[in-house]
Chains A and B, each alone.
Chain A
Amino acid sequence: MNFKTWIKTITFYDILVGMKATMSHLLHYRSITLQYPHEKRTLPDNYRGMLALLRYDDGTEKCVGCDLCEAACPSRVIRVVSAEVPGEPTKRYSKEYYMDMTRCLFCGMCVDACPVDALGMTREFEWAVYDKRQLHLNKEQLLAIGDRSFPVREKQLELQHPNVAFFNVAFKNLPQKPV
């Protein structure tokens, strides 16, 4: 141990350096935390929050009951019971749609998989509940989340543009190709 190290040891030099650091934080105090329930941080644009089912602007559900979201889900959150639309044999819808949000990891793969953009990720994240059964959501609850998070709805598929996907549109509603 040379003389310089010895002096540093007996004067607690390293401890004093640390105390200087804490004191400078006290003097230049600027909090990096937020008072959470009162202040909330701004979420990033691509924030992936609570999942929701969406509707068209006339109030009909977008979901066509194709089960692709159920197949895409890595955590087996989604369960779809598909059925025909009564009176329209070519058109299907999801008779029942369940999401077990206790297992969801918010990867967004179901949203990517959906062919008709019937699923969306909202910016809601305050979903703490006292009973975890409350996180087993049915179709009405998911549609309600979509209604309050996406007030601007898309038009029916066949009314958007003639070149939009043709499948799953009732024959009587097929847009006419311009001749």
Chain B
Amino acid sequence: MDAPVEETRSTNEDDDHDDEREEEEERGEVWAWSWGAGTDGQLGTGAARDEHLPQPLSLNPLSSSASSHPLRVSRVACGGAHAVALTGDGRVLTWGRGIHGQLGHGELENCLQPKPVQFFESFTVCSVSAGWNHSGFVTDEGHLFMCGDNSFGQLGTGDNQSYNLPVEVLFFASKHVEQIACGMRHTLALVTGDLVYGFGSARHGQIGNSVSKPQKSCNLPEVIQGFGSCKIVGLFANGDHSAALTANGELYIWGRGFSGASNDLHPRLLHSSLRISQVALGWHHAIVLADGEVYMLGGYRHWAASGSHVVNPVRHQSVPSAACAAVSDVRTLEKVSCLDGERVVQIAAGAEHSALLTERGKIMTWGWGEHGQLGLGNTDDQTFPQIVNIPNWRSFASTLGIYCGSGFTVVTKSV
């Protein structure tokens, strides 16, 4: 993955490369690259196999819809083994594992390439999320639609029936949903008025514990209490973790504890003086972005195995608090080093790997790499962020977006 490969490229290889580019152009403009675990079609390449290096995805298959103007993907939500792409004009494409109906095409089959979800042709969708086997969609009118596995009530429909077409969550019919976040088996919804609702699995406290008697799951939305008067601007869910970001850059976390800590059955404020701007949750770690720098909580295969977390640990000082003193040792954010001082502009987390974009458009990955999800051409783990090489990335460095599913990674280019 190191630069010398580029420098030693022979003239012939250059020609090959040009041919490759021409072929790509013939197939249509590249709008994204994907890599990692791919056996359910979650890479959208048309092949059901793992890829250890970035694979280009072209626009042609997307343009085959009735619409005359090409689709522009603005963001992608990646789940256990499927992906949900949202276009700039509010349409939705899905691909990958579909056997629980999570793609919303009215089928129970995998789909190896991005395919428009026809159900939303007369809607404008503004927020999407993908869980292990379920998907959520919020329209500009504040309606919430869900599809996929409902075994734990994670669709919020009041039953435990799975749906292969998006179904409206009628609980919110008279409310205005703004955001949706899907975890492994649970879902969070942000409703106008700063109300956070949770539904689905409750085993680790991931949908709070607002009810008087503890329950394993809940198939109807319930309010999650404990944010005080804070304005919530972002909701996050993955694995059995949940998080909410406030307008002041404070982070509440609840659900399964990190690094073996006990579960938090109620939102708990992460005591830190950082002003957090972005959050990404994995199954055993959380990463946050604050002032262009990345910090991590927990982490599996993200650190050197020496027992001390990093070679040069830069421990961010927690603000002491009586309430969190007992757990401060496992709730400390560790700074992710080796970024050469370059500011980070975007972060993403898969189940056990992480990815980031720097202000100069560098794509970097680290963590668990067994399925090639780091995009470095091998299956090694990495304890520090490593640069992923995408041909000609410099020409569109400022327009990239990065997203992680459980074992795969997608980078988009705004076109």
B is bound to A = no
Residues of B within 8 A of A (CB): none
